[in-house]
Amino acid sequence: MTLRAMESFGHAPTGAVTSADLLSNQWTALSGGFALVDLTGGRKYLYRTANGACTLALDSDLSTLLMGFRFHNRSNTNREVFATFLDGAGALGLLLKEKTSGHLSYIVGTYISPRILTTTVATAAGSDDHWVIKVVFDDVAGSVEFYKNGVLDSSVSGVDTIGIGTECDSISFFSNYYQYGAFGFSDLWVDDATNHGETTVLYRPVDAAGSSADWTATGAGTNEACVDEVPPDDDTTYNVSGTVADLDQLGQTGMDGAVGSVLAVQAHVRARKEAAGVTTMKLGLLHSGTHSQGAAVSLNETYEQRTAIFEDVPGGSGWTTAQFDATEVTYEHDS
């Protein structure tokens, strides 16, 4: 199947993901009642503004479907359908948020059918939790798995996951079952069971000391411990610098063979400045003593996301999983 992916609401490209794909703010595969809304730091998310579905047609019929997304909730008062998995006009199943519990659920067919799976999800707007749902469509041996930040959260197997039809050929976002309020997705990707290694957006927090720790740890004993939490705790634990050229270079877990290839690495930092005036920082990656940095990015007095994308390993070309496993994430006080 052709790759269908969005990161910061890039469009649905074909082939390898590039910087242009990751940075674009359009997705031409969608139409209907939707809008692109700014998150902090220039990121975008897709949300429903009125009744009307936004349909994504898949390039092949899928017996197994994987969908990754960040969930942004703006209404806690109603049951809300995020996506309907379709075979032709028939609904195989729904992904929804429950009214009172805030759980994500997969249910067969329409909203009146018995629930198959629920999983706990934080409902705060702008959550940094990344979710992957994997559904195997079958009337006897079906299965559903929910992964939260790369860890299996809940699953069920040996169940009926099909309402009408046999394979998924399209996804209807924000369909007409119980859609109220405003809610949506960011960092969305959809793929099948065999190709998802080329499209998955994996988050790897820093979790080890690196080659430099110039910034001052606040709220925890080490620099990596101040910035390793998912989701971020903002002013509870953080690193601070008042000196230009201060540099933190921190280790991260790496993928440990989780995927077969790496198409790009994106350094991702949540930061703010503490006073008025221009303050900038540079994000980068360090590998085998070679340091690559992105362009300087400005900060505001509220926490916002800042990113830099690297399609090549510092000092080389392309990426291997081993190179990424040995790479440190860096940020420098630029001005």
Same domain membership, residue 168 and residue 33: yes
Kindly give the residue spans of alpha helices, DSSP state H, lying in 164-287: 223-226
Evaluate if residue 3 carries a pLDDT over 50.
no
Same domain membership, residue 211 and residue 181: no
72 in Cβ contact with 231 (< 8 Å): no
Boundary residue ending a domain (198, 224, 252): 198
Same domain membership, residue 193 and residue 241: no
Three-class SS state of 19: helix
Give whichever of 98-107, 192-201, 263-272, 320-329 has the largest mean pLDDT: 320-329
pLDDT of residue 138: 94
pLDDT level of residue 115 (50, 70, 90 thresholds): confident
Residue 328's domain is classified under what CATH number? 2.60.120
Model confidence, pTM: 0.55
User: Count H helices, E strands: the chain?
Assistant: 3, 24
Same domain membership, residue 92 and residue 165: yes
Same domain membership, residue 271 and residue 176: no
The length of the chain in residues reads: 335
Q: What is the pLDDT of residues 248-296, one digit of tens each?
A: 999 987 775 555 567 778 888 889 999 999 999 999 999 999 999 999 9
Structurally, the chain folds into a number of domains equal to 2
- Domain span at residue 287 reads 206-333
Boundary residue ending a domain (198, 224, 256): 198
